[in-house]
Amino acid sequence: MHEPGRIRSSEITPVEVYTSRRTVLGCIGGALALGMGGALAGSRPVHAASRAAIGTYLPMSVPPLDSITPREYATRYNNFYEFGNDKSAPSEYGHALKTDPWSVEISGEVHKPGRYTLEDILKPHDLEERIYRLRCVEAWSMVIPWIGFPLGDLIRRFEPTGAAKYVEFKTLYRPREFRGQRALFSSIDWPYVEGLRLDEAYHPLTILAVGMYGEALPNQNGAPLRLVVPWKYGFKSIKSIVEIRLTRKRPRTTWETSNPREYGFYANVNPAVDHPRWSQKEERRLPSPLFSPNFIETQPFNGYGDLVAGLYAGMDLARNF
């Protein structure tokens, strides 16, 4: 029987589905957690100064239900409110974002705090590919081939203290480049903030992504560095990260602060807990034609429950949503 969250090797998706120039080799879905993954041979760190090739790849496989979303959907249908509220705003205005140079401040409960360039962040890490489901809290979903490395590997480099319990992330705040940040009326208190429990951050499925579809991250998808946590709703996967802070107390995240009735800290995909304004039992898998929408049943933890449910043993997931 096929395990949820784990990609089979029995069906091959043609490489032209997601890239016309590269093929893919690496670690997929939950395979790394099960000891099946590996680093990309010949890969090198990807950043804004070198947006060219990031390695040589071979074809990858996914089950029919999880066919990779065509790149044009994943790069043109986005929530990135720093660029505006419309789904098309990130791809339309993303060119304004300057990602070179880029640095990330590491602070809080660590023995090695400091401001590190993107090159410093990426240099020790081998890049891997992970084909993950992406489930938006708005009840649409995609399947995206990310390229990155485990967040836990990065955190360990900075030697967390024994007091560290949570990880807080912040997005770049630069209104001259992010038109959404200079809007007169906004429900968001910038900069965008997200957070994880430390054990969630250490989980092997949690990655920092620097690429997708065999190329460097486009600006509209969170260049040059974003979080990907596949068992949580997409708003947890914060984009264009400039700060990572380890804390004793749980951080107050952006959507939790803006509307705590609708958006909780944990944001685990849970079809048994509806959003106050819509059901979460189904999702619209993109592409989804207007007259024949592609609705599928939503799985607990987005299908990765076998790998992550243990993180929440004994918790009331309806209350801790």
Give me the CATH number covering residue 267: 3.90.420.10
Return the half-sphere exposure (C-beta side, CA atoms, 13 A cut-off) of residue 211: 29
The answer to whether the CB of 297 falls within 8 A of the CB of 281 is yes
User: What are the φ/ψ torsions at residue 278 (nearest 5 degrees)?
Assistant: -165, 165
* pTM (predicted TM-score): 0.83
C-alpha 319/C-alpha 145 separation (Å) is 32
Q: Which of 104, 135, 130 is nearest to 235 (CA)?
A: 135
C-alpha 269/C-alpha 137 separation (Å) is 8
The C-alpha angle 286, 287, 292, rounded to 5 degrees, equals: 105
Instruction: List the structure tokens of 21.
Output: 């120039």
Q: Which of 40, 226, 236 is nearest to 125 (CA)?
A: 40
How much is the pLDDT for 27?
Answer: 32
* The residue type at 78: N
88-98: burial string, b at 16+ Cβ within 10 Å, e else: ebbbebbeebe
DSSP single-letter state for residue 301 = G
For 204, the domain range is 15-312
C-alpha 3/C-alpha 131 separation (Å) is 15
Helix (H) or strand (E) holding 217: none
Question: Per the structure, how many domains does the chain have?
Answer: 1
146: in domain? yes
319: in domain? no
Low-confidence residues in the chain, pLDDT < 70 = 1-65
How much is the pLDDT for 64?
Answer: 52
How much is the pLDDT for 52?
Answer: 31
The answer to whether the CB of 57 falls within 8 A of the CB of 23 is yes
3-class SS shares of the chain: helix, strand, coil, % to 5: 20, 25, 55
C-alpha 86/C-alpha 145 separation (Å) is 24
173: in domain? yes
Q: What is the dihedral of CA 251, 254, 255, 260, to 10 degrees?
A: 50
The DSSP annotation for 251-299 comes to ---HHHHH-TTT--SS-B--TTS-BTTB--SEEEESS--TTS--EEEPP
Instruction: List the structure tokens of 148.
Output: 């990155």
How much is the pLDDT for 26?
Answer: 30
Residue ranges of E strands in 120-179: 128-135, 140-150, 166-171
CB atoms within 10 A of CB 260: 12
Instruction: List the structure tokens of 178.
Output: 């992010």
321: in domain? no
How much is the pLDDT for 185?
Answer: 84
10: in domain? no
279: in domain? yes
Query: Residue for token digits 């039992």?
Result: 281
85: in domain? yes
Bridge-based pairing of strands 140-150 and 282-285 is parallel
The DSSP annotation for 19-70 comes to -SS----S--TTTGGGT---PPTT----BTTB-S--------B--GGGPPPP
132: in domain? yes
Instruction: List the structure tokens of 252.
Output: 């107050």
* The residue type at 20: S
